[in-house]
Structure formats: C-alpha cells, structure tokens
A and B are shown apart, each in its own frame.
Chain A
Amino acid sequence: MNLVALQQPAEVEVAVDNFAATVTTRLAGGRFAGLFGSAGADGPVVLRSTISRNGVLEVVKCAVPSGGAGTPAGYPALTPAVPAANWYEREVADLFDLYPEGHPRVDPLVLPRDAEAAAPRPGSGFGRGGGHIVLDEAALPAHVSGEGVFTLPFGPVRSGVFESVQYLVETPGEDIPHVRARVYHKHRGIESRFEGMAPADGVLLAERVEGVASVAHALAYCQALEANASGPGLPRGALLVRVLHAELERAANHLDSMVRHTEAAGQAVANSRLAWHKERLLRLRAELCGHRFARGVVVIGGVAGPPALAPEATLRELAGLEADVRADTKLLMATSSFIDRLRGTGVITPEVAAARGALGPVARASGSEEDLRTHRPYAGYGLIELPEHRYRDAGDALARQLVRLEELWGSFRLCRVALEALTGEPAEGPWAADVVPADGIAWGWAEAPQGELLCMVELDGGRLCRVKPRSASFHNLSLFPEAFGGDIFTDFAFIEASFGLSIAGVAG
C-alpha cells in the first residue's frame, strides 16, 4: 500500500476587486493554468484561477456577486494583464453570464446564446433540470479589416474525417496573416451533465470528454476524488497499470499525429505504415483490457483488474512494434520532401509559449521543460525511473514532431518498466482500494498526450455537483492563431496536425 495522494493546491481567497491584481502578482515566475467557474443553486459565482509555479499548483479564488435584476454580474477582467486568460474569460461569460470588465473582445466561444437565453451556470443544477439552450449565431461577430482581405470559413464540415471545428482564415489570397477558431459547433454541455451523477458514473462520462485521451481524463477525475478520500491507499499494482495504459494512450496519440503529418505531406507509404502501427497499438490495448481506448480501466480507488495479456507477451508485442516504428520514423525523418514541410512551419517562439503558458508537446518544442509526470508525479510515476527530459526550442512543427518522437520512445520504455515492475504482483490483487470520497472540492491532474489536464471535482452529499475538466486542447487551441507568421495555406494541415488537439476537449 503506497498511495501518493495528490498534494492539493493552496487556495487564497480575495475580494472580487482584487482578483485580477492578485492573479497577476502571483503569476510572476509562474504560468496561468486556467479559470474555473462554479455556480451554486443561487448566489454568487465562484471563480478559481489556477497558477502553476515550478510545477506547484496554487489557486486564487473570488466570489462574484450577482449583478441584480437585468444586469449581468461583472468582475475586472484578467485578460488585459494576462493574455492567456482570454479564452477562459470568454468561456466563463458564455456559461455563467459573467461579464469580464475590460476584456478586449468578449465574443461567444463555446455557447453563442441569444441575450435573453439563460446561461447553463454549471454547478447550479441546471444540468439536472433537462432544460435546453438554443444557439443563436447572430451573437457572433463578423468582421475583417484590411485592403483586399477576405475571410475564408474553413469548416465546420471539412474534407476528410475530422472533428467539427471552424477556422476563419483572414487572407489576401495565399498568406495567412490571421486565423480565428470557432469551436462551439460541437459543444455538448458536458460539464453540466456531470451534475447529480454518482462518482462511479462520472468516470464513464470523464472518459468521453475527450475520447482519444480517455485514460488521462479518467485519471485526473479519479485522482481528484481519491485526494479527498478516507480509506486505505491505492495498491501498487493499480498505480503501475495506470502508468501502462496512460503511456500506451500517449504512444497512440503521438502516432496519430505522425499519421496526420504523413497524410498531409502525401507520403503514402509512410502514412500506411504508421497507420498500421497505430492499429497494432490499439489492438494491443484491447487485448490488455478489452477496449481499444482503454475505457473502463481506471476506476475510483485503482483499476478494474490486471492486464488480460501476460507481461511476456505484451513485452514481445511492444518490442516488435517499437522496432518497426523506429525503422519507419528514421527513414521518414531522413526524407527531405517530408522534413521540408515541417521545418520553419508554424513557429511558436519560446517567448510566446512562456507568456501564454503553452502546454504539452507544443510547450516542450518551444523551450518549456514542464511535464507533470516529473513535476507533479501521480499514479505510479513516483515509483519508477522516468526517462530523461528532452525539450527543444525551435518552436516549429518539426520541433513538435521531434519532441513527440522522443516521448514515444519514452512511453515504450515506461511501458516496459511498468510491466517489469508488475511481474511480482499477484493476479488476484487487490487492484482497487475501497475509497470513500469526502464532500468538498478537490483537484486532479494528468499529463495527457496533449499536455497538462486539470480536473476540478466538487462533491456534495456523495453526488457530483460540479466537475470541470480543463483539457490541454482548450488551452493550446487558443495559441493556434499565434503559429501563423508568414505561413501559407498549404502549411495549415501541418500546423494543425503538429498541435495534435482534440476539439471535443475544447468545446466541452
């Protein structure tokens, strides 16, 4: 028994007027990591801003009093001093009807509503009431400036099999001086859907917030509940199985990103080869747990059971797969017609990445060293030796792919280490501890393939009253427009693929 319960962040409460100033002061040497709203059945909306400094998470909290009849409640906006807060404040405005005073452009982001329509106010119980909100696209602005510039709407239905998102490309013809992303099309109101659920059912929903990162979402969610729980620690075996599946998920996502790059570059053989490797990996995951996306593996208190495939067979399969991926990516990274498409494409400079608090492989290609697996260890990452940290600072699509490749080899190694550490575990377990989550608010996190995933979970009377997963896709997509400096239309697919995001995690 060795539970490493997540060290919960320190929380500072300030008055609403001091909120922006306090967040700005505390951000010195740190990174803005999100804005989490929470509404009660009535009364004020509570805003929590998370800040990560040297890997330690802290929270600044304030209560925004209601604005009275007919006037929306307001608070001094963070965005003027903290550009990274831009999308978060727009999201909060959509979901809670809170107006960030001083925000440069409070355009609807996830839920364009008619001014008369009620906001869902997650946490208020709206999700239990069965109410429906009709979207009003008239709430969206339409403007473009500059001589000879027009807006090309790209999406939400795009060529190929993609998630729905719309990019508004403002262009004079070939260059892309500016891009805006519209993400509301597939907003599912998933945060409100958690309201009233039993914690064990919430895992199933968390797995579907961002389906390609099911394990990471289940982990962040379950770890939040476990952090606030009484009961015994988690079994060592469960922590290792969590590592195994989290790393297989990372490998699958990084391979998927590679498949998309080769598709965009028209590298037909490489594309087929890598698609085959990705399929082999999904099949291996299904053999281990019965599901190609490893749903159902993570449960509150541990995992559902031991891997169904023997460690020797798993190691053999992984070794063969890794050898093939290494051979193919070695050739690919020596193919100039491929590399030339990536080099210098979609640059996020280290300065922009740091100022905007970029996450995951996007950040690690732009000079950041942060990776939660080493900076805020969870699951079994504290029990095993982690690969040496690699990062790059060129900030282009090539750097992002090189970071992903390094991480891919790291994931294969971690799977091996976890499997070897698992060999001594008795098959009969225990694989899960009897954990009883206590009421109150708690934070969980995981380094998803896309980057830092945070999950705020609030429990009341043993039922979920507010769950807010903040996916790295949401944070990083807000940086997407920054990557277009002198790039042209044919670069678009590479920049998008190199960000490696899932729109489901953005739209909520």
Chain B
Amino acid sequence: MPWATRGLRDGVLTTRYPKRPDGYGHAWRGSVNVKAAQRTSEPWTELCPTGAISNSISGAPTLDRGKCIMCGRCVAGRPGDFGFDPSPEVAGVSRGALVVPPTSESEAEVASARAELARRARRLRRSLHVRHVDAGSDGSEEWEIAALLGPVYDVHRLGVYFTASPRHADLLMVTGAGSEGMAGPLWATYEAMPEPRVVMAVGTDAISGGIVSPSYATRGGVGDLVPVDVWVPGSPPSPFSILHGILLAVGLLSERGGP
C-alpha cells in the first residue's frame, strides 16, 4: 500500500517529446557541427582520433557523425570551425546522411531512402515491437536504451514495446562494433523476425566501430552483418537520440515535416 501513494508523489515525470520539444533534450551535446565553410591554411584531419573529419573537394571540412565519438577535440582546438550542436535529433536513414554539411547528392539519397522505409514501415506505426541485440558494445548503450522504458522517456505512451522474442519484433536495435562472436546470433535474430522489419544501428560503435575498430575481432560496425535502415550516432547516443531514431524508423516524424 505505501508504494501506491509513493508512485503518485512526484506527479508526471514523463517528457512530452516528440509532441513538444524537451528542454533537457536540447540542453547539451547532441552532435558536432561544421562551421567552417571554406579552406583555411591549417589542416584539420589530424584533429580527429577516429578520422571523422575529411576535406571536401572545395577544401572545406566535412564531418562524418557516424565516426565521431564526440570527444570534442576539434571543438576545443578549432572553435571557429567546429561546434557542438545541442539537438538530439541526429539519426539518419542512410549512412551518407550522417555526413555534415549535407550535399545535394546526399539529400537526394536521404529522400529516396526515407520513401522506401516509409513504405515498408507504414504498418508498424501504431504498435512497434523492438528487439535489442548487443554486438560488442561497451555497455553504456544498453543503459541508454533501457532508460527508454523508465518513467522519464516511457516509450509505451508511443505504442513502442520491447519484446523478448524476435518472432514478435518489428524493429531490431543493434549496438556495438560488430564483434565476430555476435555475427551468427545477430543474423539468426534478424532471420527470425517477420517482414516487414526495420534495423537500427545504435551508437557510433555500431555505425563505424568508433575508436574500438579496426580490430581483429570487430567488423567496423554492424552494417556488414545486417542490413541497417536507421543510423543513430553518439557515443553513446542519449535516450532522446534513440527515441528520435525510433520515430524516424516508423515514419512518425515525416508527417511533421521531418527532423
């Protein structure tokens, strides 16, 4: 009995996101942005320990958020050229969409990937069942995914449920750098899922291996192990970023004009 009143003590703690923006969601580092628009005399590639920064044809830098572990060295070293972006809405529907600033080709690619995904995931919108598989994570992504089930993010309100059986799953959430030992179990889980199914790579490790790859025991992300539809960068991505990725996966954001 005492627990019943305890449960009511602090009122509703749940975020209103995505209906309304959440103050905390936009309060800290969501990703790194490129501010520099042109070539400068100093090189930037050696600023980055994971090789996320490269030079575009024009000589201005581009940054691949799929490789960025947000260590902030570029921001600290060249604050005029790079900066943190507080928005947690960083997920992309194609690998190329994670490269900033976007090019016209990548924007066209994103549009077609999105249309294809929307067609496939249309029926999943009102009730989405999620299966998570760890393929060599550092353990922190699991905390952030588990947070979605807590009172603050509470994905049940959006019709999203976690399921034990891949037979009931619509969305496969994969974390980790793609360890050799998980290649088999991961594929077996994917195979066991009914169509239509959507795969989401959660975290920079899952996208590119981050700083953990290259190594003799990882595949540099899970993209070679299962066909990934949605990519959520971050090391680890915050619960808001993962939530945004889920909404993007089932097309719930496109109605609002996109992220």
Q: Which residues of A contact B (CB under 8 A)?
A: 111, 120, 126-127, 130-135, 156-164, 184-190, 192-193, 201, 204-205, 208-212, 214, 256, 267, 269-270, 272-273, 275-276, 278-279, 282-283, 286-287, 290-293, 295-296, 328, 331, 335, 502-505, 507
In the complex, the answer to whether A204 meets B151 with C-beta atoms within 8 Å is: no
By a CB distance below 8 angstroms, the chain B residues around A505 are 139
Contact in complex: B212, A157 (CB < 8 Å) = no
In the complex the two chains form, what is the Cα distance from A143 to B156 in whole Å? 43
Question: Can you pick out 23 interface pairs between chain A and chain B where the beta carbons lie within 8 Å of each other?
Answer: A111-B217, A127-B215, A132-B216, A157-B133, A157-B189, A160-B164, A164-B134, A187-B136, A187-B181, A189-B216, A211-B236, A212-B140, A273-B6, A275-B150, A278-B150, A279-B152, A290-B28, A290-B29, A290-B72, A293-B236, A296-B72, A331-B3, A503-B139
Structural contact, A161 and B146, CB atoms closer than 8 A: yes
CB-contacts of B171-220 with A (<8 A): 176-177, 179-182, 185-186, 189, 205, 210-218
- A157-B217 contact in complex given A211-B138, A211-B139, C-beta closer than 8 Å: no
Q: Which of A190, A269, A290, A292 lies in contact with B6, CB distance below 8 A?
A: A269
A481 vs chain B, min Cβ distance (A): 20
Are A335 and B238 in touch, CB under 8 angstroms?
A: no
State whether B216 touches A335 (Cβ < 8 A): no
Closest residue on chain A to residue B3 by CB atoms? A269
B214–A130 contact, CB under 8 A?
yes
- When C-beta atoms are compared, the residue in chain A nearest to B7 turns out to be A269
Q: CA separation between A456 and B82, bound complex, in Å?
A: 35
Nearest residue, chain A, Cβ from B210: A208
* B142 surroundings in chain A (CB, below 8 A): 161-163
Q: Are B134 and A162 in contact (CB under 8 A)?
A: yes
Q: Quick one: given A184-B181, A188-B179, A269-B7, are A276 and B71 in contact (CB under 8 Å)?
A: no
What separation, in Å, do the CA atoms of A188 and B213 have in the docked complex? Answer: 8
A157 vs B151: C-alpha distance when bound (angstroms): 25
Interface size range on B against A: 35 or more
Chain A residues lying within 8 Å of B3, measured Cβ to Cβ, are: 267, 269-270, 331, 335
Is B170 an interface position by the 8 A CB rule? Answer: no
Chain A to chain B: the 3 pairs with minimum beta-carbon distance, closest first: A211-B138, A211-B140, A159-B164
Q: Which residues of B contact A503 (CB under 8 A)?
A: 139
B235 contacts A by Cβ under 8 Å: yes
Alpha-carbon separation in the docked complex, A466 to B137 (Å): 22
A446 to B71, CA, bound (A): 22
Known contacts being A186-B182, A269-B3, A275-B150, is A133 close to B216, with CB within 8 Å? yes
Contact B215 A331 (CB under 8 A): no
Q: Is the CB of A161 within 8 A of B182?
A: no
Say yes or no: A126-B29 contact (C-beta < 8 A), given A208-B138, A256-B143, A272-B7: no
Q: Which residues of B contact A133 (CB under 8 A)?
A: 180, 216-217
A186 touches B146 (CB 8 A): no
Distance A187 CA – B182 CA, assembled complex (angstroms):
9
- CB neighbours (8 Å) of B145 from chain A are 161
Select which of B4, B71, B176, B238 is within 8 A of A186 by beta carbon: B176
CB distance from B67 to the nearest CB of A (A): 13
What are the residues of chain B within 8 A of A159 when measuring CB–CB? Answer: 164-165
A272 touches B215 (CB 8 A): no
**Whole-angstrom distance from the CB of B242 to the nearest CB of chain A?**
11
Given A161-B146, A214-B140, check contact A204 B218 (CB 8 Å). no
A41 to B24, CA, bound (A): 50
Q: Is B235's CB under 8 angstroms from A295's CB?
A: yes
Query: Which residues 104-158 of B have a CB within 8 angstroms of A?
Result: 132-147, 149-152
A157-B189, A186-B182, A276-B151 are known; give 17 further A-B pairs, CB within 8 A.
Answer: A127-B215, A131-B216, A159-B164, A161-B132, A161-B145, A161-B162, A163-B139, A163-B142, A192-B216, A193-B212, A204-B211, A209-B138, A212-B140, A272-B7, A278-B147, A279-B150, A331-B6
